Each structure stands twice: as structure tokens, then as C-alpha cells.
Structure 1
Amino acid sequence: MYDYVIVGAGSAGCVLAGRLTEDPHTSVLLIEAGPDDTAEEIRLPSAWPQLMRSVYDWAYLSEPEPGLDGLRRVLPAGRALGGGSSVNAMIYIRGNRLDFDEWATLGATGWGWDDVLPYFKRAEDNTRGADALHGVGGPLGVTDNTAPHPIMSDLIEAGLQAGHAFNADLNGPEQDGFGWYQVTVRDGRRCSAADAYLRPAAHRPNLRILTDTLAHRVLFEGTRAVGVEASHGGAVVQLRARREVVVCAGSYNSPKLLMLSGLGRAADLEPMGITPLADLPVGENLQDHPHIPLVYLSDTRTKETDFTPENLARWRDTADGPMSSNLGEAGGFLRTLPHLDAPDVQVTASPAMFLDEGLTAPYDHAFMLGPTLLRPTSRGKVSLRTTMPGSEPRIVHNYLTTEEDRQTAVRGVRMLLEVAEQPAFKAHRRAPLSVPESESEADVLRFARRVMNSLFHPVGTCAIGGVVDPRLRVLGVDGLRVVDASVMPTLVRGNTNAATIMIGEKAADLIRGHAR
């Protein structure tokens, strides 16, 4: 029996476990379906592509996507201590202040920008120092890349040559422009949520961590959550909670667990033999950031040749050198229409070949840049495939199924093609490898449907206002919360890990009664 049972040791789950056990009188059990996070590949910033389709990845695939001519897309999701923060590209972007103010207008009271900024700052240990927007001394290492590639410097210069602004702080007062990304790295090594929050707390006698433990369902007495049924060590066990069960399994697995527990649309659950406990839009409102990579062959030596025994030995000894880079070193935020109140496209780039959703091994020197749609209007759904806890959920994102998204994609591709034509970038180009045949709308959309990949930022499937209240309590039942990216009502403009850690920080205060 524990005060709190937390399901999922991802970004938010690690934050909660660390914060709640600061009170020695509060006991916490943290369960994680995946293994420990001790592999060197997790610590090595440049090795994150190797983690895709590995034991540390749920390795999901979408259903055939109707907006992508029936293609299925790769959907990585962290499956280890640290969750997504142990397998992601470590880019630290909070999103635009307008994103959080919109949450508040949608009914997420207490989640506006002024409400969440203190939690972003509390989490941060930013090597640039403290100011009105940034913090130091927090658990999460936030730093600049120490070994940027020359192509990334020239990406920024090409952006300026195309008429865009330079932005010295992409988490600063203004989001627009090209600049350097900060990363969740400390001393040349990945700083995951497990490194930042869980490892410092692991010695506490009031915290127990179980890996390789798959949650089957939330246990209820009446309408009150009292624990979790899970498989561990070859046996099915019941793990009981005195106060609350907190689900932190991510935007694919949190709705799956809730539905297996009887929380969801009755029309979806009853045909599968599940008696509905509360009729809620669980699994609906799925959103993600679609990315359209443009790839060029290069005569400049790119990152492919950095993966050498000498560079690995250097990183092991000094934690610096080319392998201390996260690959996605620079980028920016653009408005594809002048009247927009905030950017609608993020520039994602890498001094390395990126083909077939990152699954094709690089075979030549190449670089990538491309637009990511920040606020897509398409909505998808997560649903059950079977009632077996080990089954993959059905996931359909409906990428590019709205005219608004298609037009944003066309404008974004055209803007990045223009950047690629600038002298600073053109100097690195040998030949196009994966680009549209022309800039016509038909050619750009045909290309986008073929190459578009997820940027691995699913949110919204247990959204505030639909599935949980602003205190993240599941509607219609007691003793159960969801705390992870699935509670975001809408996507933030940027990578989602920083906002997920913020959600964990604020949720800890909500649970402890320290927040509004």
C-alpha cells in the first residue's frame, strides 16, 4: 500500500515521483513498463536516432493515414525510465505564451502563461543564467550545444539572407526568427527527467521504483480508484494506493489504460465487452506536429563521419566533441502569412541525412531542413485494438486531412525552399536528394504526403476540459489523475518535452495543495 501509485516513469512521472517524495511522510510507487535507462546510447546526445525501434521504444505505427495516401507512419514513444526525455532529440522549447493563454480560454483555469512560467523557471538550470524568463538551480540541465556544425551556422545565415530575423533566445520574449536551440544536456550528456528528478530521489525510503511492469487497468471500488493491476516478474499483481492513482503513460498509452479501465466512450467500450464507468472522450482530440523534410546531398563533411571510435572515446573521457551534439542544433519559427498572431511553422534541420522517417541509414553526406506545422487543425484518435493489456492501440492522426493544414504545408515548404536557395546554404549543396519536383501546389502536396513524418509530439488525448478538470482529476471518478502531455488541450508551438515537465511540476503542487 502506497499513498500514490504513478503509472509511467516518463517526463511527468519522474517529476511527480521526485517532487512528491520530498515529503518523507508521503510514499510513492512508480511503475514503468520499460527497462532501466543505463544504456550508453541514452546518455550520448548524438545517438538518439539509434534508440528508435529499440527496446527503449514502444515502436508504434499509425493506422493507414487517409491524408497521406494510406501510408502508415512511425510513432516512437519512450519506453524506459525517463520516457520520451530518454529517447528524444533533447531540444528545449517551451512554446509560445499565446498557447498557454489559449488553454485558459478553453477552460484550463490556472494554466495561462503567467500561471505556468514559474514552473518552467523552477525546473530549469540554464547555463545562460537567470532572468525574468529563465531559471537556474533547477533539476533540469538546459544548455547550448558546445560543438555546432558549420552547416547549422549557415542555416541561420541563410534564414537572415531570406529576410527573416535572428533570434538570440528562441524561448525569449519573441519566438520568431532563426537561432540556436538549447538542449536538455548537462556536462555533455543527456539530462532526461530521470536524471534530473528521479535519480536524486532514488535513495529515499519513501520511493519505490518498479521497471518492466506493465499496467493492465486501474482498480476501482465503486467510482474511486484504489490501485493498479499490473504484470511484474511473470505474475499479475495488485498495487494499492491510499490517496490517488496518477496515470503518466503518455498520449498513446494513458488513454489506452483509461479505456481498459472503463473510462471512455460507451460506444467504443461496450462492443469490446468493457463496462463503461464514465462516458468520456478518452483518446479523442489527438494532435501532433507533422514535419516535411527537404534533403540535399552535400560536398561538405556532415555528421555521418563524426561517429568514429576516436570521437566516442573523446566523449567518454571529456563529454565534449562532435558526439556531444544532439544533431538538431539550429532552427527557428516562421509565420507563413503576415497577419498571423504567432508562428505557424517551426524550422527543423540537421547536418545529416534524414530519409524514410529517419530509418534509412545514411549512405552519403547530406543535410536536412524542413517545416513543421505548429498548430495543425487535423485531429486524430487513439482507440483499443483488443482488451489485452499488451496489445498496441489503434492510432490514426489524420495528418493533412484539412485544407488549412495542406495550405500551411505548401507555404512552409516554399519558404524553406527559398532558404535553401540562399548563398550561405547553397554553398553546401551538391544536389537535391528529396525535394518536390516543383513549387506548384500539386507537386508540393504530392511530396508532402510521401515524406511527411511525425515529430513525435502527440498530445491531447486526455485533455483538460474533456477528460480531466484543471486540477488534472479524471471527470466522473475519484482518486484518479492524468499527468502528461495528453492533458494539453492544444499543441504548443514547439517541442513538447519542456511543457510536459512543466505539467509535472505544476501537478505536484496541485496534488500537494500548493497551487491554485
Structure 2
Amino acid sequence: MPTTVPTRPLEKAYDYIIIGSGSGGSPVVRRLIDGTDATVLLIEAGEPGIGVAEIDDPREWVPLGRSRWDWGYSYTPTPRVNGRTIGIPRGKALGGSSAINALMWYRGNPLDYDVWQQAGCDGWSFADCLPFFKKAEDWEGGETALRGAGGPLKITTSTKLHPIAQAMLDGSPELGIPVIADPNGESNEGACPSNFNIVDGKRWSSANGYLFPVLGNERLTVLTGSHAIGLVVEGGRCTGVRHLVDGKPVETSATTQVVLAAGAIDTPRLMMLSGIGDPAELKRLGIPLVHALPGVGLNLQDHPLVQACVFRSKVPMGEKLDNGGGTMLNWKSRPDLVQPDVHSFPVQGNSAEPRLRELYDMSGDVFSLGAGLMHSKSIGYLKMLSADPFGPLDIQPNYLAEESDLEALVSAVYTIMDLAQTSAFADLFAGFAAPDRKLSRADAVEFVRNGCSTFFHTSGTAKMGKDDMAVVDARLRVHGLEGLTISDASVIPVIPTCNTHAPVTMIGERAAAFLMEAA
């Protein structure tokens, strides 16, 4: 691993400029450097984050939120979550959110991507996407029909499951939920060991896999600590980027393409700052209209997570293993569903939201089981509250706006409480802590509202498709503008039933392929 980012003089123009070094941006950089003779500028607002102990240690990812490595964004409170402010960890370092996330490699259900195809994203069925998932992977089990080997991202499972993780695996069949070998196999329904981006006990982020091996290439300039504040648009074409260097605005040109990979919050913000968006919104902000795209900032989706059901433990939790979890559980909240919609994972300690910590006694030895909804239907929006590039945002996922989302989470909480009482947990479970008793439906609804948090899977704010609200086409090009591609979670039309690192990496691989085909 490198110790520093090579310092190269900033040129006035590059063939490609990529804004953002996360799961969507890093693959584009790597494939362009490896597969073309182009010059590439990568602009990253965060620090390098190389050799930082708390980033490298998979067990210490939780405190990275609200640290110097996090953008510090929050969802706007609503009565549906009892007026609570929910923080949204977003990585601010090379690797983006893959530098601070829970290290999960999970692509959900194959049906998730067939839905994209049905939503007007031609060529985005699971069969179309699978080769690009595989291209990214270096799976510990080697190449199969569904898994890749030799790719930039190393993917492993636990070498020694924590007792809580093992109990989840062993207890699920007692609830009629099968055990499966791989959540990234033919079906994700069941309990299984999690897939991790962990190598020899250390985090393996997008930066580790994609960027670090090519940092020495003379055609690549990586500029950290540089905040993008605008896109340059001339004659219907994006021709460059305005960004801060040592705190001063600089304009750098792109002769071939600008690739916007700043994430589902900062990509729409940067577009609106540049006059690309809904004319009414831009007028409200006093930003001159450059290109009308009314869908910018709409269609925001995220998975709600009830964090968490907490249980008293008969024994201390001992040393934290893996990412503090180790396994996952995917099942159907109702038997008539065609695919799993709810998800759980173990936590080797207390992972309750602050409001639940105020309401319940969780002293002593405890463990937690998160209960989340991966097939959520509620849709929100992102709005700028001023034209300041650093100004406040109204980020609204509309958690629990759809009654079906609330019902599914209530069902999940009941299932998780039952799981803790299976024989597999007999040596661990010493009673309920939060909730501290079996709940009536009304009490369960209140528990969900007080515990509702985020998987930080914010997506959809510049969606792909053909309809009037679509922002990019099926080749990830911004509708009606030349020279501008988007490669991040904002293009997702319908949120998949998984952590978003894997699908966004796949999007990055596809963005690179599209660019190289066009070159």
C-alpha cells in the first residue's frame, strides 16, 4: 500500500475528470488508466486517508461516522420518526464511503436488477449486470457462474464467527428460515455468513482495490482536499469543473468527459449549483437555469433500519470480530412476497439509537440484532436551502411514509425477538433489554419510530431511465447534455435489496465500459 498520494502539477486540461473517489468513481479511474492512453484527473474533497488505523480496522467503523472522515449530513426530522435527527455517514477520504462503511459486499436479489430493466433502463437486467459484478470481485471461493476472481476488490468471509453470529446462523431454521452458503448466490433468502471487503484483518476499500495500484501512473493526477463547487457548461456540453485548490477557486477543463461520482447527496447538489435541475427550484435558489432536468434531487431512497433490538447476555461479548457482525439474515415479512424484503444482522454489543438508550436500561452485558427493511417503498427528495456550495440541505427519505414499510418493520422486530429465544441462543440470551418485554402492535410501532435509523444507502437522486423525471440514460449520460456522465448511487432508479457498495461498484464498472466504447 502507498504511504502518500504522488504530487503532480495541476494541468489546465485533462481528457477525463472524475469527481469523487468512492465506489462509483474509483472503477472509472482504474479502467481508464489501464485500458486507454488518456490523462485522468481525480478530484476528491476528502483527505487521502492512507494508513489511518481507525479506517483500516474493520471493527472500528462505527465511530468513523461524525468523525473527520464523514461529511456530517443528516436526514431532516419528521413526526414519523418522532422528530429525531438521523445522521447519514458518508465517507470523506479516498475510497469515499467504502472507507468508512460496514465493509459489506452484497448485491441483493437478482430480481432487483430485472426491476431496473422494467423501469426503462435497457440493458440493466441481472444478466446484463452480472459480468460487471464479477469483474470487480476477487472472491475467496474462486470464480463460479455467479462469482468473480482476480478483480480489484477482495471479498472474504469470517475465519471465526463470533458466538452471536453463529447463533443467528443456527437459530434461523427454528423459525423456518433456511441457511444458505452465499448471499450473493442464486437466492439471498436465508441466513448466511456475510461477504466482507476485509483482507488479513484490514479494510479493503475501493481505494485499496482500484486506486492504489495505479497511483504511480504519470497519466493519473489525484487531487485530494479539493472541493468541487460547479460544472462548466458551454454550448450544451460540460467542458470542465470549478473546484477549490488551497481554498481558492480553479477551473479545470475536460476534453472528453466529466464523470460525476460525488454520491447521491453531492451529485445532485453540484448539478443544481451549476444550473442543472428543476427550473422552479433553481429560481427559488436564485441560480440561473443552464439545463432543465426536473428530476434532479427527487426519487431519494434509503433503507430504514430499526437500530436495534437489544438483549441481555449471559456472558461478556469478548473480543470484537470481523466488522462487529459476521452473518446476515434475509427473509420475507409476508409469505406472499416474491423475494425477501427484511434483513437482520448481529452486533457484538449495544447498537441502539440514542432515543432507545434514553428509554431503556441497557446496562451490563448485552448484544443486539438490527432489523431492517431492504425492500422499502417510501420515496423522498433532496433540496438545497441556499445557493452556497457549503450551505444546508433538506435531505428527506420520508421513512415510514408508506404503511407497508412500517408493517414490514414491525413484523421484523417480532421475528428478531423470536430469534433471540431459539435454542441456538440458549447460552447467550438472558432476557430482553430494548424492548424490555413483548410488545403490543401499538408499542411495536412506537419502538420502530424511536429506533428507525439508516443503513446509509442514500440513492436515486439522479435516476436512470426514459421518463420525464429521469436524469441519465441507460449509458449513464446526462439527458440533453454532452460530456457529462454520472457514476454513483444517484443513478439507481429503484433501490436494490442490499448494501449499496456492490451495486455502485458495478455501476462504476459499467460507466467505464461505456466511456471506453465511446472513445
Q: Supply the distance in 1 between the matched residues of 2:414 and 2:430 (Cα, whole angstroms).
A: 20
Partner of 2:493: 489
Letter in 2 for 1:475: H
| Matched residues, number | 497
Matched, 1:44 2:57: yes
CA contact (8 A) 1:145 1:329 kept: yes
Q: Write the distance in 1 (CA, Å) between the matches of 2:223 and 2:481.
A: 26
Please list the CA deviations of residues 119-154 of structure 1 after superposition, one character each: whole Å capped at 9, or x if unmatched: 111111111121110111111000012232112101
In the other structure, the counterpart of 2:4 is none
Question: Alpha carbons of 1:359 and 1:449: their partners in 2 closer, same or farther (altered >3 Å)?
Answer: closer
Residue by residue, what CA displacement relative to the aligned partner does 1:243-285 show, whole Å, maximum 9, x if unpaired? 1111101111111111111111111110111122222211111
Structure 1 segment 273-352 matched on structure 2, within 5 A: 273-280=286-293, 281-292=295-306, 293-302=308-317, 305-306=318-319, 322=320, 325-352=322-349
1:219 matched to 2:232: yes
Q: Deviations over 1:354-383 (max 9, x none)?
A: 122699899642211132111111111111
1:127 aligns with 2:140: yes
CA deviations over 1:485-512 (Å, ceiling 9, x no partner)? 1111011111110111111011100111
Residue 163 of structure 1, CA deviation: 1.7
Q: Which moved more, 1:221-230 or 1:349-358?
A: 349-358
1:232-251 pair list within 5 angstroms: 232-251=245-264
1:442 corresponding residue in structure 2 = 442
Partner of 2:121: 108
Within the candidate set 181, 184, 205, 2:194 is matched to 181
Where does residue 10 of structure 2 map in the other structure?
none
C-alpha separation in 2, matches of 1:371 and 1:354: 11
Q: Residues 219 and 148 (structure 1 numbering): CA distance in 2 closer, same or farther, change over 3 Å?
A: same
Structure 2 vs 1, CA of residues 359 and 199 (structure 1 numbering), >3 Å: closer, same or farther?
Answer: farther
Aligned residue among 151, 157, 164 for 1:138? 151
Alignment match, 1:229: 242
Q: Distance in 1 between matches of 2:232 and 2:385?
A: 21
Pick aligned residue for 1:20 from 25, 28, 32: 32
Alignment match, 1:69? 82
Who is 1:376 aligned against?
376
The one-letter amino acid of 2:512's match is: A
Does the 8 Å CA contact 1:357/1:453 hold for their aligned counterparts? Answer: no
* 2:148 counterpart SS class: coil
How far, CA to CA, are the matches of 1:206 and 1:365 in structure 2?
A: 54
Q: Is the 8 A contact 2:264 2:489 kept in 1?
A: yes
Structure 1 residue 393: Cα displacement: 2.2
User: How does the TM-score come out when normalised to structure 1?
Assistant: 0.93
Consecutive unaligned residues in structure 1, runs of 5 or more: 307-321
- What amino acid does structure 1 have at the position aligned with 2:286? G
Deviation at 1:476, TM superposition (A): 2.0
Q: Over residues 414-453 of structure 1, what are the superposed CA-to-partner deviations in whole Å (9 max), with x where a residue is unaligned?
A: 1212112212224312232212754322111101000111
Alignment of 1:255-274 (within 5 A): 255-274=268-287
Alpha-carbon distance change, 348 to 22 in structure 1, aligned in 2, over 3 angstroms: same
Question: Contact 2:28–2:508 at 8 Å: present in 1 too?
Answer: yes
2:474 equivalent among 470, 474, 484:
470
Is 1:427 paired with 2:427? yes
Q: Residues 19 and 262 of structure 2 are in contact (CA less than 8 Å); yes or no, is this contact kept in structure 1?
A: yes
What TM-score comes out, normalization by structure 2 length? 0.93
Task: Please give the alpha-carbon distance, in whole angstroms, between the structure 2 residues aligned to 1:452 and 1:85.
Answer: 23
AA aligned opposite 2:365:
H
What amino acid is the match of 2:61?
A: W
Whole-Å separation in 1 of the counterparts to 2:244 and 2:393: 18
Q: How many angstroms does 1:27 deviate by? A: 0.8
The 8 Å contact of residues 309 and 352 in structure 2, kept in 1 or not, is answered as: no
Partner of 1:505: 509
- Are the equivalent residues in 2 in contact too, given 1:179–1:332 (CA < 8 A)? yes
Give the aligned residue type for 1:350: V
Q: CA deviation at 1:189?
A: 1.3
Which runs of 5 or more residues in structure 2 are unaligned?
A: 1-12
> Is 1:83–2:96 an aligned residue pair?
yes
Percent identity between the two aligned chains: 37
Is the 8 Å Cα contact of residues 353 and 364 (structure 1) preserved in structure 2?
Answer: no
Q: Please, which moves more after superposition, 140-149 or 115-124?
A: 140-149
Distance 2:436 2:489 in 1: 33
1:300 Cα offset (Å): 1.9
Letter in 1 for 2:327: A
The answer to whether the Cα contact below 8 Å between 1:155 and 1:330 also exists between their aligned partners in 2 is yes
Q: In the alignment, residue 353 of structure 1 is paired with which amino acid?
A: N
- Corresponding residue SS for 2:156: strand
1:416 — aligned with what?
A: 416
State the distance in 1 between where 2:325 and 2:238 align: 42
Shift of 1:222: 2.3
Rounded Cα–Cα distance in structure 1 between residues aligned with 2:242 and 2:352: 41
1:5 equivalent among 17, 21, 39: 17
Hey, what does 1:318 align to over in structure 2?
Answer: none
- C-alpha deviations, 1:384-439, integer Å up to 9, x for none? 12211122422011100111111111111112121122122243122322127543
CA RMSD of aligned residues (A): 1.8
SS in 2 for 1:175: coil
Taking a change above 3 Å as real, the CA distance of residues 424 and 472 of structure 1, as seen in their structure-2 partners, is: same
1:315 maps to which residue? none
Q: Which amino acid aligns with 2:211?
A: L
- Indicate if the aligned counterparts of 2:162 and 2:325 stay in contact, CA closer than 8 A: no
Paired letter, 2:162: H
Work out whether residues 5 and 246 of structure 1, in 8 Å CA contact, stay in contact via their aligned partners in 2. yes
Q: Aligned partners of 1:477, 1:66: CA distance in 2, in Å?
A: 39
3-state secondary structure, aligned to 2:242:
strand
Shift of 1:24: 5.0
Match of 1:35 in 2: 47
Paired with 1:48 and 1:445, the residues of 2 have a C-alpha distance of 29
Output the amino acid matched with 2:492. Answer: M
Is the 1:383–1:393 contact (alpha carbons within 8 Å) kept by the matching residues of 2? Answer: yes
Tell me what 1:367 maps to. 367
Alpha-carbon separation, structure 2, partners of 1:37 and 1:226: 30
Q: Which amino acid aligns with 1:14?
A: S
The DSSP-based 3-state class of the residue aligned with 1:513 is: helix
